[in-house]
Copies of this chain bind each other. A is one copy, B any other.
Amino acid sequence: MKIVVDAMGGDYAPDVVIEGVQAAVKEYAVEVVLVGDESKIKSCLDRHKVSSSNITICPAQEVIGMSESAAASVRRKRNSSIVVGINLVKNGQADAFFSAGNTGAVVCAATLSLGLLPGIERPGIGIVMPTIQGASIVIDVGANIDPKPSQLLQYGIMASLYFEHILKRQNPKVGLLNVGEEETKGTEFMKETHELLSGSHLNFIGNVEGKDLFSGKCDVIVCDGFVGNVALKVSESVAEAIQIFLKRHLLSNLWGKVGLLFLLPSLKKFKKEVDYSEYGGAPLLGIDGVVIIGHGRSNMNAIKNAIRVAKDEVERRFNEKITEAIKPLPQA
């Protein structure tokens, strides 16, 4: 099992990436190919005293920045860590690719280079989120901001399979993210999508609302990439704002500071429960290859777990499951 990791991707690259890789190689018995600036990677490996025969380097001179235009940068930077790394998977030299770098560029390079699974119209990014009743998966969070209803149906199918085969929970409940629960709610696009999902083999529970994102009402939440992207980033924004507000008030007086000391053990447990890094990266589903995308702010734990997710997808031949499920559907 050989997994390519973009050493240049993420806000804390390459250091945090390499720490995560080091932990993953130890824990999951995988081989990792670090792709990126060779001298930077080497000095980072030295700095962290990493020397393992399971970690090799594939040089790539260029880096696609976090805010570069996806399509243009993939076309122009043929020697970027993302393009070179994905080509290793394409050429059969590795089994999976992970990057915490420019999400759009990863989606674009993966689609161009690896192509889509048979019958799949567009790839979608699924993201596993903590809810008050265990994990749920939201798809799509930004790969496809102007999808067709048939594409959302495919997202529902792929994410349900992910839930069953990777998260190992059976018969996931699928909801469609809409502005109200009644099936007549939403735009024409939403009504058409609702009809398609209703007629599918999925365990479709109907429309859900933004308030259900963390309620655990369903296991798979299907949405277009625009709405999913906003929803995901709003969630982060709220959580951060609450932290800032709380700190502002709790640290403003002695009682607050004393109280916090008592709470530390509980807060640690809380943090672990809602820590997205436990779920690793977000699978880019529908690609003919295993590609995992990390949050720009991925920490060591997130990198490590993303590699675990990549390994699981490869080992469980996850893409074959998608192909089997999509085959019987009418093609667009």
Of the listed stretches A43-51, A87-95, A225-233, A277-285, chain B binds A225-233
Q: Which of B67, B187, B255, B261 contacts A265 (CB 8 A)?
A: B255
Q: Is the CB of A230 within 8 A of B177?
A: yes
Q: Which of B145, B234, B250 contacts A231 (CB 8 A)?
A: B234
Q: Beta-carbon contacts of A177-203 to B below 8 Å, as 1s and 0s?
A: 101111010111000000000000000
Q: Is the CB of A67 within 8 A of B182?
A: yes
If A246-B270, A273-B245 touch, does A226 touch B187 (CB 8 Å cutoff)? yes
* Integer count of this chain's copies in the complex: 2
Of the listed stretches A24-32, A151-159, A205-213, chain B binds A205-213
User: What are 14 of the A-B contact pairs (CB < 8 Å)?
Assistant: A69-B182, A69-B184, A132-B245, A146-B187, A187-B226, A211-B236, A213-B234, A214-B238, A215-B237, A231-B234, A238-B242, A249-B270, A255-B265, A260-B263
Closest to A189 in B: B146
Q: Is the CB of A265 within 8 A of B253?
A: yes
Q: Which of B69, B238, B267 contacts A238 (CB 8 A)?
A: B238
Q: Which of B229, B236, B248, B256 contacts A179 (CB 8 A)?
A: B229
Q: Is the CB of B184 within 8 A of A210?
A: no
Neighbouring B residues of A145 by C-beta, 8 Å: 179, 186-187
Neighbouring B residues of A250 by C-beta, 8 Å: 263, 266, 270
Q: State the interface size on chain A (CB cutoff 8 A).
A: 65
Tell me which residues from 255 to 297 in chain A have a Cβ below 8 Å from any Cβ of chain B: 255-256, 258-263, 265-267, 269-270, 273-274
If A255-B266, A262-B259 touch, does A211 touch B239 (CB 8 Å cutoff)? no
A171 at the interface (CB under 8 A from B): no
Neighbouring B residues of A244 by C-beta, 8 Å: 132
Q: Is the CB of A215 within 8 A of B241?
A: yes
Q: How far apart are the CA atoms of A238 and B243 in the complex, in Å?
A: 12
If A69-B182, A179-B145, A227-B226 touch, does A234 touch B211 (CB 8 Å cutoff)? yes
**Chain A at the B interface: mostly helix, strand, loop or mixed?**
helix
Neighbouring B residues of A230 by C-beta, 8 Å: 177, 179, 209-210, 223, 227, 230-231
Contacts A248-B270, A255-B263 known; 11 new A-B pairs at CB < 8 A: A145-B187, A210-B231, A210-B232, A210-B234, A210-B235, A213-B237, A214-B238, A215-B240, A239-B242, A256-B262, A259-B260
Q: Is the CB of B212 within 8 A of A237?
A: yes
A142 at the interface (CB under 8 A from B): yes
Closest to A235 in B: B238
Q: How far apart are the CA atoms of A179 and B225 in the complex, in Å?
A: 9
A79 at the interface (CB under 8 A from B): no
Q: How far apart are the CA atoms of A270 and B69 in the complex, in Å?
A: 40
A73 at the interface (CB under 8 A from B): no
Neighbouring B residues of A113 by C-beta, 8 Å: none
Q: Would you give the shortest CB distance from A189 to chain B, in whole angstroms?
A: 9
Neighbouring B residues of A323 by C-beta, 8 Å: none
Q: Is the CB of B237 within 8 A of A253?
A: no
